[in-house]
């Protein structure tokens, strides 16, 4: 059977998960490095043979005892247990630019893994990258198609491809951001996002305490710590509904500041 080709911008696949034009929910934009680390962690899980091995691997990373993969786990935990969970309080979004960056990261990882397996020194990796055949990028994309479909099924695809050019320019000139980082942040602000989730420590430091914009740039685990109680309440409410049949149990209120216009929104949790 012929291998199914795969395009990350297949409009037919994306029709149902386009971001709503207006929403009162907390909007959380996700950086490419978070999605890429999630995929890398999922691939590591796939290599383990038994459920017990997978369970021990996750437990070890959760406890922080597996030094080499604990940072990959933070992105995995954020997406699997928070962004992918159905709820009425948050919208998690990503953009076409971020998706392109995801596969650039996966390609770089593919090259580094090849170099490691073949004992090629890191000093030769730049030249090695040029030797890979043209179809390598498409191969990597097809190999990881299940993860792209998972992103499709759980996150909203922010399709406004034309970010605020002036805003991107300001980020580059005033904050010293790289061009793709500047565009991603401009897209997030254009989407009225309250949070931008990234693993880029330098980006977080550069955007810290910038009062001109109501966008908070934070790590995945910072988001988890901040909203763990909210998601626990969501989980508890679902359990209450199932056991009691009460469709509207009493819910606490959650306040969040963010988005454009310096607004403060109140949500029922």
Percent of the chain with pLDDT over 70: 75
Q: How far apart are CA 113 and CA 120, in angstroms?
A: 10
User: Would you call 86 exposed, middle or buried from its count of C-beta atoms within 10 A (0-12, 13-18, 19+)?
Assistant: exposed
Tokens of 130: 């040029």
Q: What is the pLDDT of residue 159?
A: 64
Cβ atoms of 251 and 269 closer than 8 Å: yes
Q: Which of 76, 75, 68 is nearest to 116 (CA)?
A: 68
Question: How many CB atoms are located within 10 Å of the residue 261 CB?
Answer: 6
Q: How far apart are CA 88 and CA 230, in angstroms?
A: 11
Q: What is the pLDDT of residues 231-244, one digit of tens each?
A: 887 766 666 566 65
Q: Where are the domains of the chain?
A: 23-32+77-231+248-268
pLDDT at 255 over 70: no
Cβ atoms of 34 and 78 closer than 8 Å: yes
Average pLDDT, the chain: 78
Q: What is the pLDDT of residues 198-223, one digit of tens each?
A: 999 999 998 887 777 889 999 999 99
CATH number of 23-32+77-231+248-268: 3.40.50.1010
Count CA within 13 A, CB hemisphere, residue 66: 15
Residue with tokens 């795969």: 6
**How many helices (DSSP H) and strands (DSSP E) are in the chain?**
12, 7
Residues 6+ apart with CB under 8 A from 267: 24, 25, 26, 89, 253, 254, 255, 256
């Amino acid at each position: 059977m012929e291998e199914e080709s795969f395009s990350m911008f297949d409009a037919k696949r994306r029709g149902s998960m386009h971001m709503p034009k207006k929403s009162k929910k907390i909007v959380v934009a996700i950086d490419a490095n978070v999605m890429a680390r999630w995929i890398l962690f999922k691939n590591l899980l796939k290599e383990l043979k038994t459920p017990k091995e997978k369970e021990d691997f996750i437990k070890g990373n959760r406890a922080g005892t597996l030094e080499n993969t604990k940072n990959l786990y933070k992105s995995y935990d954020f997406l699997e247990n928070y962004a992918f969970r159905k709820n009425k309080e948050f919208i998690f979004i990503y953009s076409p630019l971020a998706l392109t960056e995801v596969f650039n990261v996966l390609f770089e990882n593919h090259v580094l893994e090849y170099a490691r397996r073949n004992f090629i020194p890191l000093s030769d990796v730049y030249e090695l990258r040029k030797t890979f055949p043209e179809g390598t990028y498409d191969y990597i994309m097809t190999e990881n198609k299940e993860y792209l479909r998972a992103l499709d099924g759980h996150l909203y695809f922010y399709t406004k491809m034309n970010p605020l050019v002036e805003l991107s320019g300001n980020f580059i000139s005033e904050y010293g951001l790289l061009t793709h980082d500047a565009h991603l942040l401009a897209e997030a602000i254009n989407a009225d996002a309250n949070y931008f989730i990234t693993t880029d420590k330098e980006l977080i430091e550069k955007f810290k305490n910038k009062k001109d914009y109501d966008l908070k740039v934070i790590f995945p685990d910072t988001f988890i710590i901040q909203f763990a109680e909210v998601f626990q309440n969501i989980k508890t409410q679902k359990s209450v509904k199932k056991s009691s049949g009460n469709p509207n149990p009493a819910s606490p209120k959650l306040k969040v500041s963010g988005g454009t216009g310096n607004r403060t929104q109140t949500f029922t949790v």
